[in-house]
Amino acid sequence: MPVAAPVAVPASRSALEPHAVSRLRTARLARSAKPFMARGGIKGERCPGCRLVPSHCLCDVRPEVPTTSGMCLLMADIEPLKPSNTGWLIADVVHDTFAFGWARTEVDPALLALLADPQWQAFVVFPGEFVAPERVVHSVQTTPSGKRPLFILLDATWPEARKMFRKSPYLNALPVLSLNPEQVSRYQLRRSRRDDHFCTSEVASLCLEQADESHAAHTLQAYLDVYTHHYLQAKHQLPPDLNGPAHLQLRALNLA
């Protein structure tokens, strides 16, 4: 049975209080028959708030931006366990983030309840070229009055995401938001062979832009850049540059 974290995080959330993805990770670890080893083997102690080694912790710069939009992450089995997973960053920044483990044969009732909640208009975010044209939308500006956009992100590798999309019948009645970004992915921790494949956090930023929430979109992108910098500096045993471009951009957005 997939384990879900269906409840949105509280309004006043400390950096160490677990959010939806953190709770899903804890639940997934509890079901593991053996310890999960990230690529490279045991790396020693990690901060529970940001998954980085303590010397490179970024909990003190974790932003939280008010948004009307919500994010619903459907996560492939081991995605919550990967230190490089960027769905975690979305849950850091966007208050109403929900996270569910995905399974082919079962669906958590809490996910179905979320999709049926009348406050939300759900959109499955997926490339339109793989979808029947009548389901595809390129804008969320047609969201019915009084409803908030809820972006459903398939947090997985591309082959896994295609399987999840095909084998999740509860998504079949929902409109599919097809993004057509002009920029190239800047994500450096796991590379796709295609420049038009974006990490989950980048996709969430594009969705926020679609919903006219540019400040939140830019903040999430800047936070990804800071996380990437800390992650790579730790990997190479170098200190983070707290006055480098990534940190300066995030600080400027936090003051805006």
Q: Domain range spanning residue 166? A: 20-27+48-255
Q: How far is CA 24 from CA 19, 91, 166, 180, 227, in A?
A: 9, 11, 23, 30, 20
Residue pointed to by tokens 């089995």: 77
Mean pLDDT over all residues of the chain? 85
pLDDT band at 28 (very low <50, low <70, confident <90, very high): confident
Residue 11 lies in a domain: no
Residue 40 lies in a domain: no
Q: Is the pLDDT of residue 221 over 80?
A: yes
Residue type present at position 233? Q
Residue 32 lies in a domain: no
Of these ranges, 98-107, 141-150, 182-191, the one predicted with the greatest mean pLDDT is: 98-107
Residue 188 lies in a domain: yes
Residue 9 lies in a domain: no
What CA–CA distance (Å, rounded) separates 19 from 13?
9
pLDDT band at 3 (very low <50, low <70, confident <90, very high): very low
Helix (H, G, I), strand (E, B) or coil at 208: helix
What global pTM score does this model have? 0.85
DSSP H helices in 2-77: 20-30
Residue pointed to by tokens 């989950």: 200
According to the model, what pLDDT value does residue 120 have?
97
Residue 85 lies in a domain: yes
Helix (H, G, I), strand (E, B) or coil at 186: coil
According to the model, what pLDDT value does residue 31 have?
80
Q: Provide the domain count of the chain.
A: 1
Nearby residues of 200 by Cβ (< 8 Å), 6 or more positions away: 73, 85, 86, 87, 90, 153, 155
Residue 15 lies in a domain: no
pLDDT band at 256 (very low <50, low <70, confident <90, very high): confident
Residue 211 lies in a domain: yes
Query: Percentage of the chain with pLDDT > 90?
Result: 64
Mean pLDDT along residues 173-186: 75
